[in-house]
Amino acid sequence: MATNPDPTTNLESTISTGLSITDNDLNDLIKIQGDLVRKLKADKAPSEQITEAVDKLKNLKKELTDRQAANGEESTAGGEKLLKTPRGTRDYHPDQMKIREQVFRIIIDCFKQHGAETIDTPVIELTSLLTEKYGEDSKLIYELKDQGGAEQLALRYDLTVPFARYIAQNRIATMKRYHIGKVYRRDNPKMNRGRYREFYQCDFDIAGDFDLMVPDSECIKIVVEILDKLDLGQYKIFVNHRKLLDAIFAVCGVPDSHFRPISSSVDKLDKTPWSVVRNEMIHEKGLSPEIADKIWSYVQMHGNADLVDKLRTDAQLMALKSASEALNGLEVLFRYLTLYGVMDKIIFDLKLARGLDYYTGVIFEAVLTEYQYDPQLGDDQVAVGSVAGGGRYDELVHKIDPRQRRVPCIGASIGVERIFAIKEHQMAQSKMQTKTIETEVYVASAQKNLIEERMKLCSYLWTNGFKAEMALKRNPKMLDQLQYCEKNQIELCVIIGSAELQAGIVKIRDVQTREEFEIPRGQLVEQLRAYLTKVRQRPQESSSKTNNN
C-alpha cells in the first residue's frame, strides 16, 4: 500500500469539510476506488484490507445514488420543484447559438468546398443496427422503452454506423458526404470540458473503392483547413494505422482475440500514465507483464515520416505482411500530406489507437496545443482533449449490408462541442457582448396612441426587406425603446410623432452616435439603406464602450 498513496483522500476531505463536490467528482472517486479494489484482489491482499476498500466503494456508490435520487425527485431540500435538463445535457442560449452558427458555417463551407453533399438520418435507429459495432462502449447506448411497438429502438451513438446503413440500404457505391447531428452516449459527462451525453457530431466521410491514401489524405487536409479557419491556435494531428498497431500486438505476443481490448487500453495513454494502463493490461485483460512491457517499447515511439523507415528495420515486424503494407500506406499518405502542405502538423504516433472497434486502416486525431489536458490540473481547466479525429473503416458497410457489398470508407469527425467550449471561453474573456438579434431598424414613438402607425410602418419596412421591430406595448416609454436599441446594438431607430406624421416626415436616430435627423416619409427606404451602409462602414467599437457613452 505504501506505493499506492490513497488518491481518494483529498476529495474525501473535501466532502467532510462540506465543500461542494460534483457528481463528476464522485464518479471519479468511484472509478479510482474500483481500480484499487480490483488491484487488491489481483494482488491477493489481506482480506480485511479488501473488505475495507470494498466498504468504502459501497459508501461512495451509495452517496452518488442518493444524490441522483434526490435529483430524480426534482426537489431541493426546501421541497421546491427543480427545473433542469437531463444529466449531461444543456440548453443553448442565444449567445451560444451565435457561436454555434458561426462554427457550423465555417465547417460546412469547408465541406462544400471539397464537393461534399449532405444527408440526414433519424436520431433513433433499430437497436439491432447498433449492437456489436462499438466494442466496450456499447453499454453507453441509450435504449427506448418497449411501449408496445414491434421495434426495439435506441438513440444513435455516432453518425458513422447510420452512414454505413445508409450506404448499404441505398446500394451506394461512392459518396462524399457530410452530416451534422446530435448523438447520445450514457457516458460520465464533463461538461466544462465539452463532454456531454447529448452532443453534436460533425462528420465528413468518403465512401468508395478509390486509390490508396487519396481519400485519406483529403480527410486530413480538411481537418487542417477547418482548424486553421476556426482560429483555435496551434495544434498537432497524431496519425497511426490500425493494421500496424495489430501487427505490433502480434509481434509482442498478444493473442488475436485480445487485439481490440488491448487497443482500448493503449488508447488511454494520452490521459493515463503507463503504470495504470500496464496494470489494466495485466490484471483486467490478462496479458503477461513481459508482453505488456514489449507493447510499451513500441507505443512510446513517435516522430515524423522518418519513423516509417526506422520501423522498416524491425525484421520481426516486417515479417508480417500487414505491417509492411501499413508502412507502405503511411509512406504514401505522408507524401500526399506533404503535397497538400500540411505535413508540418503531423505526428506519426504509435500509441494512437482510437476507441472505436470499426477502424481498419489509417487513424488520426487532432489535439490543440494550448488546450491539452493536464492530469495534474483536474476538472477545472478548459482542456478539451482532441478536437477532431477519424479513420478508415473498410469493413463496416460489409458487416451491415445484407447483400454483403464491400464499400471501403474513411471519415473525419470534428469535435464541435469542444470547439464551442473554447469559443465560449474566448468570448467570455474578451467581454464582448454578442449581438443575438439582427434587427437593423427599430420603429419607436414618444407619444401615446400611435401603435397603429408603428404597425403600419413596421409592415412597410418588412415588405421592403428591412429587419425591423417595434415595442409590443400600446404606449411604450421612449426610454425603454431607446435602451432596447442600445442593448441590442440595433443600428437605426425611426421615431414617429403626430406632428411628423402630419408634416409627412420621419425622424431617424443613429443609435450609436445618438444623432437624429429628419427626412421626408417618401424617401424612407432609400435613406435607411444609405444610412445603414454608412453606419456599417464605421470602425467597430466594442459594445462595452458604446454602453459607456
- Residues, the chain, total? 549
> Considering the rule CB under 8 A, would residue 89 count as an interface residue with a second copy?
yes
Interaction residues for a second copy, span 158-177 (CB under 8 A): 165-166, 168-170, 176-177
**Closest approach of a second copy to the CB of residue 186, in Å:** 6
The Cα–Cα gap between 473 and 85 comes to 33
Q: Which is nearer to a second copy, 371 or 442 (CB)?
A: 442
> Considering the rule CB under 8 A, would residue 479 count as an interface residue with a second copy?
no
Interaction residues for a second copy, span 176-195 (CB under 8 A): 176-177, 182, 184, 186
Interaction residues for a second copy, span 486-515 (CB under 8 A): 488
Map residue 44 onto helix, strand or coil: coil
From the list 144-152, 235-243, 514-522, 537-545, the region that binds a second copy by CB under 8 A is: 144-152
From the list 262-270, 299-307, 335-343, 509-517, the region that binds a second copy by CB under 8 A is: 335-343
Q: Which is nearer to a second copy, 174 or 544 (CB)?
A: 174
Q: Please, which residues bridge with residue 235 across strands? A: 368
Backbone dihedral angles phi then psi of residue 523, each to the nearest 5 degrees: -100, 10
Q: Which is nearer to a second copy, 94 or 520 (CB)?
A: 94
Taking CB under 8 A as the criterion, the residue among 58, 271, 406, 473 binding a second copy is 473
Q: Which is nearer to a second copy, 222 or 506 (CB)?
A: 222
Strands 117-118 and 175-184: parallel
Helix (H) or strand (E) holding 458: helix 451-463
Map residue 375 onto helix, strand or coil: helix
The Cα–Cα gap between 118 and 204 comes to 9
Q: Which is nearer to a second copy, 44 or 145 (CB)?
A: 145
Q: Which is nearer to a second copy, 201 or 279 (CB)?
A: 201
> Considering the rule CB under 8 A, would residue 206 count as an interface residue with a second copy?
yes
Residue 193 grid cell:
470540458
**Closest approach of a second copy to the CB of residue 436, in Å:** 4
User: Which residue do the cell numbers 437593423 mark?
Assistant: 440
> Considering the rule CB under 8 A, would residue 138 count as an interface residue with a second copy?
no
Interaction residues for a second copy, span 16-75 (CB under 8 A): 65, 68-69, 71-72, 74
Query: How far is residue 143 CA from its own chain's centroid?
Result: 22
**Closest approach of a second copy to the CB of residue 320, in Å:** 26
Q: Which is nearer to a second copy, 372 or 488 (CB)?
A: 488
Interaction residues for a second copy, span 253-312 (CB under 8 A): none
Strands 386-392 and 409-414: antiparallel
- One-letter amino acid at 409 equals C
In degrees, rounded to 5, the angle at the alpha carbon of residue 226 between the alpha carbons of residues 225 and 228 is 65
What angle, 0 to 180 degrees and rounded to 10, lies between the N-to-C axes of helices 214-230 and 321-339? Answer: 50
Name which of 296, 286, 298, 279 is nearest 258 in CA terms: 286
Taking CB under 8 A as the criterion, the residue among 7, 51, 122, 530 binding a second copy is 122
From the list 136-144, 250-258, 275-283, 316-324, the region that binds a second copy by CB under 8 A is: 136-144
From the list 209-217, 376-384, 513-521, 525-533, the region that binds a second copy by CB under 8 A is: 209-217
Name which of 294, 321, 298 is nearest 310 in CA terms: 298
> Considering the rule CB under 8 A, would residue 428 count as an interface residue with a second copy?
no
From the list 119-127, 367-375, 520-528, 540-548, the region that binds a second copy by CB under 8 A is: 119-127
Site string for a second copy, 374-413 (x = CB under 8 A): --------------------------xxx-----------
**Closest approach of a second copy to the CB of residue 124, in Å:** 5
Q: In what order do the strands lie in the sheet with 468-470?
A: 468-470, 441-445, 492-496, 505-510, 516-520
The Cα–Cα gap between 116 and 393 comes to 19
**Closest approach of a second copy to the CB of residue 147, in Å:** 6
> Considering the rule CB under 8 A, would residue 231 count as an interface residue with a second copy?
no
Q: Which is nearer to a second copy, 145 or 545 (CB)?
A: 145
Cβ atoms of residues 507 and 520 within 8 Å: no
Cβ-based neighbour number of residue 216 at 10 Å? 27
Cβ-based neighbour number of residue 512 at 10 Å? 19
> Considering the rule CB under 8 A, would residue 432 count as an interface residue with a second copy?
no
Q: Give CA separation, 359 vs 2, 258, 452, in Å.
A: 41, 15, 64
Interaction residues for a second copy, span 338-357 (CB under 8 A): 339-341
Taking CB under 8 A as the criterion, the residue among 48, 80, 231, 515 binding a second copy is 80
> Considering the rule CB under 8 A, would residue 151 count as an interface residue with a second copy?
yes
CA atoms within 13 Å, Cβ hemisphere of 162: 24
Backbone dihedral angles phi then psi of residue 226, each to the nearest 5 degrees: -65, -45
> Considering the rule CB under 8 A, would residue 87 count as an interface residue with a second copy?
yes
Concatenated DSSP letters of 316-355: HHHTSHHHHHHHHHHHHHHHHHHHTT-GGGEEEETT---S
From the list 35-43, 108-116, 266-274, 418-426, the region that binds a second copy by CB under 8 A is: 108-116
Q: How many residues bind a second copy (CB under 8 A)?
A: 100
Q: Under 8 Å CB-to-CB from 109, ≥6 apart: which residues?
A: none
Q: Which is nearer to a second copy, 229 or 236 (CB)?
A: 229
Q: Which is nearer to a second copy, 300 or 404 (CB)?
A: 404
User: Which residue do the cell numbers 431617424 mark?
Assistant: 508
Taking CB under 8 A as the criterion, the residue among 121, 328, 433, 447 binding a second copy is 121
